A and B are shown apart, each in its own frame.
Chain A
Amino acid sequence: MLPCLLPPVFALASSFPSGRFLPRCGKDDFSRRQHLLCSDFPSRFLSIGDSIDLISSAPSLSWPKAIGKSRDSDLARSSISNRNGLNQIEAEINEGKFPFRIELEDRAHEHRGGSDRTHWPGRSKAAYRTEQNDQVTLDLRLYLRHESDLVDVRAREFSEPWWNWPRKILPPFCRATRSPAGAAGSFLRTICWLM
């Protein structure tokens, strides 16, 4: 059953224009079909050998390059528009006039949505330009750094009274007052030092 299905499936895959389902092609085949991708795309731009299917990879590499060169394209205009919009938002935030909407705060998601509406399908070839994995970890680092500052301050505020008062509020023979290193405040002081 399976062998008799293979020829039509292979024919369908071969007719798929993106090349994703094609067998790996050599550089000769890539050069022959280069005009289908981008007219000014130099073949020497690729030095990836045979490890990646060239036909599949070329659009992903050539499209951002074409976008970068076209100064008067829609995308270039939208980039300027985005920049002006961000400046306007910054000014409105500083003046306290900006209405925050939670559903619009994911900037990368909104950027992708706008690109999908105006530049599909080319947007998919430039998807990596809007990847936000580094932005996610950067936001997490900024947030946790801010939170750790607050924890540090609160731990110090909490430990100060314990550092000074253990002999007043605790019995003289307990471990918290017998040795300075074991005083109750030193627990939290140690944590502050660790952080």
Chain B
Amino acid sequence: MRRTRINHMPLGSGAIAGSTLAAGPGLRSAQLLDFPEITHNSMDAVSDRDFVAEFLFVLSLIGIHLSRLSEDLILFASAEFHFLRISDAYSTGSSLIATKKESRCVRIDPRKNGRLVGNLVALLTNLKGLPMTYNRDLQEDKDGSL
């Protein structure tokens, strides 16, 4: 996994201008926490959320691909194609037609993806227009990422 953005240790940046505590951005602290790099600008370190946006983008992309795979399975399992048959363990009956077989898991999965894309868009919209250093708006990044 590529971690060029997330693998920078910001400890010691304080609120904006560093800290007098001993736990500064030293290489020893970075080694203990397994960070190959440290942040070089304290103002940017406390305001940077690129790694969150990247993580949410990757999750959204995974969701989109799973959604497309699920749609393929739904299409191939339909009566018109009939390329494959989904096991009863992953299927239920229809609420209206008891004898109808519906593959619930692959039908729900594509609809879940909208939430992932929504988290990404919400974060990017929140970051747009924020000035340098920490802003209280950044507290909103926890909703989508956690």
Q: Which one of B3, B55, B145, B146 has the highest number of Cβ atoms from chain A below 10 Å of its Cβ?
A: B55
* Chain B residues packing against A (C-beta within 8 Å): 1-3, 6-17, 19-21, 33, 42, 45-46, 48-49, 51-52, 55, 58-59, 61-62, 65, 68-69, 72, 76, 83-84, 134, 141-142, 145-146
B residues in contact with A141, CB < 8 Å: 6, 8-10, 51
Q: Which of B12, B13, B69, B142 contacts A187 (CB 8 A)?
A: B69
CA distance A151 to B2 in the complex (A): 13
Indicate if A178 sits at the interface (CB-CB under 8 A): no
Known pairs A128-B14, A137-B46, A194-B61 / 10 extra A-B pairs, C-beta < 8 Å: A64-B20, A128-B17, A134-B13, A137-B49, A140-B52, A144-B55, A148-B6, A174-B83, A191-B62, A194-B2
Q: Collect the chain A residues with CB atoms within 8 Å of residue B72's CB.
A: 174, 176, 184
Which B residues are in CB contact (< 8 Å) with A149? 1
Bound-state CA distance A140–B48 (Å) is: 11
Q: Would A170 and B55 be within 8 Å (CB), given that A184-B69, A191-B61, A191-B65 are in contact?
A: no
| CB–CB B83/A195 < 8 A | no
| Interface residue count on the A side (C-beta < 8 Å) | 35
| A145 interfacial by beta-carbon distance below 8 Å | yes
> Once bound together, how far apart are the Cα atoms of A133 and B14, in whole Å?
6
Contact A188 B65 (CB under 8 A): yes
Q: Which residues of A contact B (CB under 8 A)?
A: 64, 68, 128-129, 131, 133-135, 137-138, 140-145, 147-149, 151-152, 155, 162, 169-171, 174, 176, 184, 187-188, 191-192, 194-195
Contact A131 to B14, CB < 8 A, known contacts A68-B20, A171-B76, A188-B65: yes
When C-beta atoms are compared, the residue in chain A nearest to B14 turns out to be A131
Closest A residue to B134 by beta carbon equals: A133
Q: Is the CB of A148 within 8 A of B20?
A: no
With known contacts A140-B145, A145-B7, A195–B51 Cβ distance under 8 A? no
